[in-house]
Chain A
Amino acid sequence: SYVLTQPPSVSVAPGKTARITCGGNNIGSKSVHWYQQKPGQAPVLVIYYDSDRPSGIPERFSGSNSGNTATLTISRVEAGDEADYYCQVWDSSSDFWVFGGGTKLTVL
């Protein structure tokens, strides 16, 4: 089955840029979605189709996808961005949704 690999943790200072990666075999050929999950809360969709933002999601959140790596980029990081982030793709070979293991973003 298809595997998505995320770094367990990423740390960034306020005002800087955070980049969270999601690795997978030829992931660039798939559409990647990203979710933000704060403690005790349900996940929230922040990026879909690699780089589109749902309404209400700040422009600071952006995404890219090429080759074997998709990336969620958060610019001008704020304390409120501290959360777990998950990538997700559709595995068409097995017909199921796959999530990455999640990355904990810490704002220093």
Chain B
Amino acid sequence: QLQLQESGPGLVKPSETLSLTCTVSGGSISSSSYYWGWIRQPPGKGLEWIGSIYYSGSTYYNPSLKSRVTISVDTSKNQFSLKLSSVTAADTAVYYCARRGLGPPDAFDIWGQGTMVTVSS
């Protein structure tokens, strides 16, 4: 059964770069049938899509975050990663990685458990 697991620092200083990795187990990230995405949720608030990547490296990002976001993939490690630069307190959130199918359901059908990242000095 496919599982996703986020990892990375739980505390990041303002103006620095947030870096997270999502490890995929029980399946291959190189499948042509899926995109892999990052979604975040500030405490007590709703979900916000950050961006997604295909195993080939093709990416697309939320326009509101695009200038600060980089998502990359490492197929040899079955991982994909998120970098968010110049963070502020507004970037404090639970960060989720998730899988999206290229056909039905064409939605984020498998999610990681999420990891809390706090931006504070």
Q: Mark B66-97, 1 if CB is under 8 A from A, else 0.
A: 00000000000000000000000000000010
Binding site for A on B (CB under 8 A): 37, 46-49, 52, 60-63, 96, 104-109, 111-114
Could you tell me if B104 and A98 are in contact, using CB atoms closer than 8 angstroms?
Answer: no
Q: How far is the CA of A97 from the CA of B114 in the complex (A)?
A: 19
Q: With a CB–CB cut-off of 8 A, which chain B residues contact A99?
A: 46-49
Q: List 13 A-B contacts (CB under 8 A).
A: A31-B106, A35-B47, A35-B108, A42-B96, A43-B47, A43-B108, A45-B105, A48-B107, A49-B104, A49-B105, A54-B105, A86-B46, A88-B47
Minimal beta-carbon separation of B12 from chain A (angstroms): 21
Sorting the interface of chain A by its residue count into under 10, 10 to 19, 20 to 34 or 35 or more gives 20 to 34
Could you tell me if A42 and B114 are in contact, using CB atoms closer than 8 angstroms?
Answer: yes
Could you say which of A31, A42, A48, A99 has the most chain B C-beta atoms within 10 Å of its C-beta?
Answer: A42
Total A-B residue contacts, Cβ distance less than 8 Å: 62
Minimal beta-carbon separation of A98 from chain B (angstroms): 7
Could you tell me if B107 and A33 are in contact, using CB atoms closer than 8 angstroms?
Answer: yes
Q: Does A102 lie at the interface of the complex (its beta carbon under 8 Å from any beta carbon of B)?
A: yes
Binding site for B on A (CB under 8 A): 1, 31, 33, 35, 37, 41-45, 48-49, 52, 54, 86, 88, 94-102
Could you tell me if B48 and A42 are in contact, using CB atoms closer than 8 angstroms?
Answer: no
Could you tell me if A45 and B46 are in contact, using CB atoms closer than 8 angstroms?
Answer: no
Q: How far is the CA of A48 from the CA of B108 in the complex (A)?
A: 9
Q: How far is the CA of A49 from the CA of B95 in the complex (A)?
A: 25
Write the chain A residue with the least CB distance to B60.
Answer: A95
Write the chain B residue with the least CB distance to A88.
Answer: B107
Could you tell me if B46 and A52 are in contact, using CB atoms closer than 8 angstroms?
Answer: no
Q: How far is the CA of A42 from the CA of B116 in the complex (A)?
A: 12
